Structure formats: C-alpha cells, structure tokens
Amino acid sequence: MSEALLTATGVTKSYGATPALRGVDVTVAAGEIVAITGPSGCGKSTLLHCLAGILRADQGSIVYRDQDINLWSEASRSRLRRTEFGVLFQFGQLVPELTAVENVALPLLLAGSGRREAGEAALGWLDRFGVADLAEQRPGAMSGGQQQRCAAARALVTEPRVIFADEPTGALDQLNGEQMMTAMVRAVREQDSSLVLVTHEASIAAYADREIVLRDGAADPSGIGIPG
Amino acid sequence: MSTAHVLLGLLAAGPRHGYDLKRAHDDRFPQAKPLAYGQVYATLGRLERDGLVVRSGQDQESGPERTSYELTDLGRERLDTWLTEVEPPAPYVSGTLFNKVVVALLASGIDQATGYLTAQRAAHVTRMRELTAIKTRPGANVGDVVAADYAIGHLDADLRWLRTTLARVAELQKEVTA
Amino acid sequence: MRAGTLVRLSLAGNRTDRLRTVLTAGSAALAAVALLAAATVAAIHGGNWIPDPAQPDGGGQIMAPGSEQYTSPLLVEAGLRPGVIFALLMLALPVLALAGQCIRLGAPARDRRLAAIRLAGATPGQAVLIAGAETAAAGLLGSMAGFGVYLGLRVALHRRGADGRLVLPTDVLPNPLIVIVVLLTVPVLSGLIGVLLMRRVVITPLGVVRRIRDRGPRPWPGVLIVLGLVLFAPRTLHLAPADWRMPEWAPLAMMGAGVLFVMIGVVAGTGWISYTAGRLLRRYGRGPVTLLAGARLMADPWNGSRTLGALLAAVVFGAGTLGFRADLSAEFDARARFDELADPQGGRYGTGDTGFYYGAIRLVMMAVTIGLVVAAGGMLVTFAEGIVARRRAFAAMTAGGVSRGKLGATLLLTTFAPLVPALLLALGSGASLMRTIRTGVTVGGGDPYQVCVDPKAQDFSVCARRTIVDPLVHWPIPVPVGQLALLGGGALLAMLLVAGAGMLVLRSSTDVAELRAG
C-alpha cells in the first residue's frame, strides 16, 4: 500500500459523561478499504463520524493530507466532506423532497455546479448502481435497496478521495447488500479511492483489505490476527 | 457419489465426450477441486456399465479419437430422482473445526482454546476476504459468484459460531476467575 | 451554490412545508398591515398645542393645523396619537408571534431535510441560507401582499363622517423609507427566527440523532418579565440623572420594550412551566394518562411555547389594556367624587368625555379579540401538526392497547396542564404593567385659596373673600378581576375549541396502518 492518506491518533470522544472512544489510532492508505467492526455500542460509528469530520473528537488528531481536520471549523470540514469525502449512512439519508437524480446531484450543486452538468453526472452514477430508471422518483417511492443505491451514488458523485460508509447494508437483505457493496467496491477500486466501512457483519467486512475491531471504544487485540 | 450425478447433469443438455465434460465441470464449479481426466473416464465407464449412459458416436476432427456419450432414459430417470431427493439437513453434528474446539476445551483448557479460536478466526476472515475479492473482480461470471457465495455463507456461519463461542468462553473464564 | 440551486432547495418541500409558506405569508401580511397602519398614524402632522400667533403676548394656545380633517380626536390631537401608534404596534406583536409559530410548522421534517443536505456536504452557512431563504421569501411575499391590502383598504375605507371630516387617516401616506423598513421588518424577523429555530441542525449534520438534553428549561424567563415591568414603570425614568436630556421618544420606546419583554418572558417561561408541570404529573400522578402526559411535557417542554405563543402574547396585551381601563375608570371615578365634594365656587373637572376614552379602549379590546382569534387559528394548525408529526407514536400506543379515550385525555392534559398556569402568568404580568405606574388615583388636595364671596364682584382686592379648601380624593385602582377572568376564560375557550378540533385529527392518526407508513 502507498503512504497514509488519513491518520487518526489517540482519538477520544464522549457523549456527556459516557465515553464512546478511549484513544483509537487508525491509518487509511490511499486506495485502501478498511473495515471497522465490533459489537453494538463499541464506538465504531462514532469513530467513523470523527474520521469523516462530522463529529469533532474531544482529543487526538485526525490528519488528512498533512492537515489536522479536527481543528478545522465546521464550515471548512463541511467543504472537505463535500469535495474530498463521500458519506453514506445506513438509511441513505436522502432528502425526501428531492428526486433521486437531484439527490445525487446535490453535492455538486452545493459546490456550485450548474444544473445540467450535475444532473448528467448524477445520472451516470445512478446508472452504475443500476437505478437509472428511478432517476425521477422520490425516495418515498423506492425500496430500501434502491434508496441505498442512490445514497451510494451520491457519496461517489464527487469522485471523493475517501468514502465513509456507516452500516451501508444494515437495512438491506443479503443480495441487495452484496450487489451494492460490489458496485461500490468496484467504483472505489477504479477511482483508486479509499473506503472506510463500518459494519457488524463479517461477510460485509470481508470486502475490505483490512479490519479494525473495536471493543468498548478501543481497538480489540483479540479480534485481530489479520496479516498486514 | 455426486461426481456421477454431476456428469449425468452435464450430459442432460446433449451428448458430450470426456474432455468436454471435464472442461464443463471445471467451468461450472470454478472454486471446486478440478476433476481429474482419469476420474471422468472411470466414472463414465461405471455409468455405461449400469446402463445410465451409452456411447453415441465418435469424432476425430482434431487431435485424438473422442467418444461421446449420451444419457439413456434410465440415466435421465436416475438424475431426476437425485434432483428431487431431499438432502438430510445436518444429520450428524460434526466437522473438524467443531471437533477441534470441543477437544481443545476438554483437553487443554480455556486459554489454549481461546488462542486456537482467535487464530482460526483470522484464517477464516482471510479466506473469506479472498473469496469476496473474486466476486468484486471486474468480469466475474455468475459461476464464480455463486460458488464464492456458497463458501462465504459457510465461512460466515463458522465465524458467527466462532464469535459466539469466543464470547461464551470469555464469560466462562470470568466465572472461573471470579 | 448557485442561486438556482438555492431556490430549488428552498422550495423543496412537502404539503406541510407549502402550508407553512402560505401561513407564514398570511401572518406576515397581517403584521405588515398593522405596522403600516401605525406608520400612517405616525405620518399625521399637526394637532399639537402651539402659542397663538394672533396673541403675540402669549395669552392663548391654539392647535397646530394639519390634523383638523379627522373625525376622531384620537387622530386629531398630537398628544393622543402616540397611544394609537403604540396600540397598533402592540397589536402587531401577537401577529408576529403567529408568524413565528407558522415558521415552526413541519419543522421536524424540515430539520431532517436540512440535516440530509448537511450530510451531502452543505456548510452550516449554506443550510442556514436555505432555511432562511424559504422563510424570508414567505415573509417578503406576505409583506408585499400586506402592502397591497393596505393600499386597498386606504381606498375602501376613504369615508367621511356626517360633518365631512375623514373617519380614518386615508389621506396621508407614511414616508416611503418607513414603508420599506416596515415591509422588510417582517421577512428579516421571520428569517432570523427561522435560523434561530434550526440552530441544532447547524451544529451537526446528524440532525437530532445525537441530541442530549441534560436539563430541562430553567425559570430564567421570569427575569425577563421582571425586567419588562421595570422598563415599563415610569419610576425607572427618574433614575436617570436629572441633567440628562432624554429624547422625546424614549419613554414610549421603553414602555414598548417593557411590554415586549413581558410577552417574550411569558412565552419563553411556558417552557419551564411545561417542564415543571410534567415533573409534578409524573411524580404525583396516578395512572397511564398522567404518566404519558407528564413524560410528554418533559420530553418536549417547548411545545407549549410554540403552540401557545401567539395566544399568550395576545393575553398579555389584553390584560395590559384591561389594567389601563381600570386605571382610567378609577381616574374618572375619583374626579366625579371630587366634583361631588368640591365647593360649587371652586374648580371642577366636569363630566368630560368618558365615552370617548372607553370607546377607544373598546377598539383596543376588539383588536385583542382579533388577536385571540388569529392565535386560535395558529394554535389549531400547530396542534394538529403536532399530532400528525407524532402519529406513529400514537398508532404504536393504540396498537399497544392504549384506548383512544386515554390518548385524548393525555392530549388534553398535555395541553391544559401548562396552559392554565401560563395563562395566569400572562394575565398577572399583563395586569401588573399598568400597576407599575400607580395603584391609586389622587385628585385635588391643592393649597387652600380665596375667592370673592360675590361671584359678580369686580375687584378681587376689595371684595369680601372666603377661603375654599380643595378636597383631596384618594381612589384605589381595583384589579379588574372579573374582566381578567373573562379574558382568561375566552382564551381557555379558544384552546378548548382547538383541542376539540384536534381530537378529530387524532382519530385518523391512531390508525394502526400508520405504523407501516414511511
């Protein structure tokens, strides 16, 4: 693997008095797929949110391309998420009032692209995830699997350097989940992007090159044994 | 016994000769152990003896002489019977993995069992990752994907059992030390 | 983000969002009309007392020309007009509160939408812009409509009384600059309120998922009420250094700010009242109804402020007006008593034009009633929306075996448990406003003076004289308990009607099929 793209060191985060992360180190290399796994409540989603700059870590640094993004303002981190990162959640988090193509085009539109070129790019991505025929549908009229594919298309439309996916297949059945993962992994490999994947399913974690197992907010040494 | 049934199944589409059958088998079962050429002919001989296949012709277009075989009515009947027969689900709970864990717990205590389980888990995860990589490879065909799915499903079940067992053993240890 | 994107994202919305836009625009229009009416009255010139130029020695005073064309002395006399302006401005407050309520409509869905947009990479600024643009646009639309209505009313109400004088100031227009300021006030205010209401989403794109509420609301808004009363009280002005020349408008501005503070204090204090009521219900209540209602009140203590805001604002204003009425009537009573006691040869107040003053107050109370009706409409919308927004919870409870009657009782309890104390607070603080000025009227009591015994006597220095002692009348101002009770009862009745209508919505919202939806 090439050098580290994203390096988190000693990340801690608490919700009120409840500690969620107690000092976690993560390194993601360019082009690498990393799975974060662990039992429910181990802090894996919180870690992902901190890595993606959605949450601000209490302590520790999150260095992306030699810059500690944990120190950045919310607006700068939003801009980073829009341009360099892609984010995908369990329940798609599509804007219910916008059509599929508008949803996918949204990051481009927010970045200042024109309606037409954003729409064209969005359509291309919908096609890659096999849902181009739903372009004019609103999320309410789609199945969970279709919504999730749109959300994945939205996460990838800006051709981000790193994609963060939090239980992306959690709401999907086996086949839908696998198809989505396959499409996503292929896209990630093609663009030479990195993917950080939170999941509790071993069969989904197997899409990654490497696995980080968390337990009670810290890396779990007994869950390792992964070479490299 | 299933190699015979597999060959009967491959012949169901029409007559084929031995080399053809081997290639078709390796195509359809990409992740399985490849079929030896000799095994194909031995099995075909047995099927012919039982009246399930007959020689249907010879051609010598390219290379050595080849004898093609086709299914008899009896053979088709046997194939149908096999396909409709229900396989008994897990008649005996055994398997090397399972046996080893039980023996490890019995013979060498919790610590060694945990050590073995952790190492075994890592091996499973690695194998699962390899199989998953086959699925995401551009141009992976349905045969590859279906075969990988089958193995991944089993590995996943093993892993789940391993994880539960790890947790159980850990709890047991807590009780013992408490 | 291009302008087209902003427009598209601001206009993305469901039925509730469109309803919100319409209602926000409607209330903005009403507020604009009230504010423009105030500005119009402010535009009238003349009517103040100036030295009579015909008597250069300063013997007499005449009224400055410019306002003699109106029927009502409220418009003619410069000294009375600030009161009219004040009343019109105060009337705009409940309407603005209603606009604030409308902005909250469908907020959960919008918060989710904005959080999703944030996740897609919008900066906090962009999210604020999108939300603010929507509300501000609705407000601007409403202001423009209000301006149209105002112009229409000017034409429609251009009537003359029997003496040929104008009933309303339909002949003057406010300064265009003021018109623009008024028309922009509402959209800017609504935009700001909209931004304020979505501050949580600004903080995190995870929306409300990660929200932690460690403590309930605190009773700090009480401080605001006290501050409002202090600002209103004329004694506060005496605290200023004697040599400090205050601008002429300062006392009026302070009184306005006082009323505004009290209103905000009451509305914001409802959060604490709700929370405390919920805690008491949970601690001392028996049965599922009190438990559910208490839990609901504690979980969302601001719901009361949102639903009841406009109503409470109107009640504060109404109670203030009733206090003023009590003050006025005590003054008249004291004067009548003085006249009874006074020497026939001494000074007298005479019967005066009490009907005029009471008429003016009746007009204000009518405005308050309109405010209550407006508020009731807003409450109905918010109330029904609150039920629809929680229809899944209701359906789940129905599926779990909670009867519809119990749910209805819970809903009533959640509404009225905070409403009753909040209403009492609104009535109390509203009525207290006038009482900060004085609690009793003192009339007469001047130094004794002498007059000629014979009223026809020509020369004061030679006539026989007698001393007249001015009577001193001290008249306490009663608290208008009966009228306040009537006002409070009216507000309760309005809420009861609203709750009744809301029950119809509940009926369709407890359908178990809702559990499958969305």
Domain boundaries, chain C: 1-50+60-212, 213-240+248-444+476-518
User: Which helix (H) or strand (E) covers residue A7, if one does?
Assistant: strand A4-15
For residue A8, name the pLDDT band (cuts at 50, 70, 90).
Answer: very high
Any domain includes B60: yes
Distance CA C265, CA C425 (A): 10
C47-79 pLDDT per residue, tens: 777 777 777 665 667 777 777 778 777 777 777
Residue pLDDT, tens place only, C441-464? 888 777 777 777 777 777 777 787
β-strand partners of A12: A22, A59
Residue A100 contacts residue A139 (beta carbons within 8 Å):
yes
**Do both B80 and B103 map to the same domain?**
no
How many separate domains does chain B show? 2
Residues of A in Cβ contact (< 8 Å) with B129: 206-209
C407: tokens are 């749910």
**Residues B28 and B60 grouped into a single domain:** yes
Q: Using H for helix, E for strand and C for coil, what is the string for C89-127?
A: HHHHHHHHHHHHHHHHCCHHHHHHHHHHHHHCCCCHHHH
Asked if residue B23 belongs to a domain, the reply is yes
Chains that touch C (3 or more CB pairs under 8 A): A
The answer to whether the CB of A123 falls within 8 A of the CB of A135 is yes
Res C214 pLDDT > 60: no
Q: Is A220 on the interface with B (CB under 8 A)?
A: no
Q: Give the domain-ending residue among B55, B84, B113.
A: B84
Query: For residue A6, which of A157, A195, A167 has the smallest C-alpha distance?
Result: A195
Name the DSSP letter for residue B15: -
B138 Cβ under 8 Å from any chain A Cβ = yes
CA-based nearest distance C115→chain A, Å: 8
Q: Are residues B70 and B108 in the same domain?
A: no
The three state secondary structure string of C151-163 is HHHHHHCCCECCC
Of A154-168, C121-135, C172-186, C260-274, the poorest mean pLDDT is in C121-135
Q: Are residues B76 and B148 in the same domain?
A: no
pTM given for the model:
0.64
End-to-end CA distance of chain B: 53
Work out the minimum CA distance from B58 to partner chain A, whole angstroms: 45
Q: Tens of pLDDT along A111-144?
A: 888 888 889 999 999 998 889 999 888 888 888 8
Q: For residue B54, what are the domain limits?
A: 2-84
CB atoms C12 and A97 under 8 Å: yes
* pLDDT attached to residue A32: 94
Query: Does residue B10 sit in the same domain as residue B76?
Result: yes
C120 interfaces chain A, CB cutoff of 8 Å: yes
User: Is residue B90 in some structural domain?
Assistant: no
- The amino acid occupying position C514 is E
Residue B34 near residue B41 (C-beta atoms within 8 A): no
Greater pLDDT, C284 or C515: C284
Question: Is there a contact between A107 and C4 if contact means CB atoms under 8 Å apart?
Answer: no
The answer to whether residues B154 and B129 belong to one domain is: yes
Distance CA B119, CA B51 (A): 50
Chain A residue with minimal CA distance to B153?
A203
Q: Residue A197 region, left (φ>0) first, then alpha (ψ -120 to 50), else beta?
A: beta
Tell whether B80 and B101 lie within a shared domain.
no
Tell me if B91 is assigned to some domain. Answer: no
B89 in a structural domain: no
Q: Tell me whether residues A102 and C203 touch, CB distance under 8 A.
A: no
In a domain, B126, yes or no: yes
CA distance from start to end of chain A: 10
* Domain final residue, candidates B84, B107, B135: B84
User: Chain A residue with minimal CA distance to B158?
Assistant: A202
Assess B114–A contact: CB distance below 8 Å, yes or no: yes
Q: What is the pLDDT of residues A145-160, one digit of tens each?
A: 888 899 999 889 989 9
- Domain closes at, from B41, B59, B84: B84
Is C124's CB within 8 Å of A79's CB? no
pLDDT of A162 reads 94
* Binding-face residues of A in 137-196 toward B, CB within 8 A: 178, 181-182, 185-186, 189
Chain C residues closer than 8 Å to A15 by CB: 210, 212
Q: Average the pLDDT over each of B3-7, C359-363, C368-372, C397-401 and give the range with the smallest value.
A: C397-401
Angle at A33 between CA A224 and CA B153, to 5 degrees: 65
| Tokens 């508008």, residue located | A102
- Taking CA atoms, C477 is separated from A89, A188, C341, C440, in Å, by 66, 80, 20, 5
Selected residue of A106, A108, A113, A166 to mutate for chain C interface (largest C Cβ count, 10 A)? A106
Structural domain includes residue B137: yes
- CA–centroid distance for B150 within its chain: 9
Task: Let me know whether B54 and B121 are in one domain.
Answer: no
Label residue C420 by pLDDT band (50, 70, 90): very high
pLDDT beyond 80 at C198: no
Do B and C touch, counting CB pairs below 8 Å (3 needed)?
no
- Give chain A positions within 8 Å (CB) of C210: 15, 55
- Interface residue B157 vs chain A (CB under 8 A): no
Q: What per-residue confidence (pLDDT) applies to C517? A: 44
**CA–CA separation, B135 and B137 (whole Å):** 6
Report the DSSP beta bridge partners of residue A4: A29
Contact present, A and B (at least 3 Cβ pairs less than 8 Å): yes
- β-strand partners of C46: none
Region label for C203, one of left (φ > 0), alpha (ψ between -120 and 50) or beta (otherwise): alpha
Q: Residue B45: give its domain's CATH number.
A: 1.10.10.10
* Cα gap B14→B11, rounded to integer Å: 5
Chain B hits for A223, CB-CB cut-off 8 Å, are 121
CB contacts of A181 in chain B (<8 Å) are: 136
Helix (H) or strand (E) holding C431: helix C404-435
> Among A146, A183, A151, which Cα is nearest to A165's?
A151
CA angle at C343 for the pair C342 and C344, rounded to the nearest 5°: 110
Higher pLDDT, B53 or C352: B53
The two structure tokens encoding residue C517: 């939806």
Whether B152 contacts chain A with CB within 8 A? yes
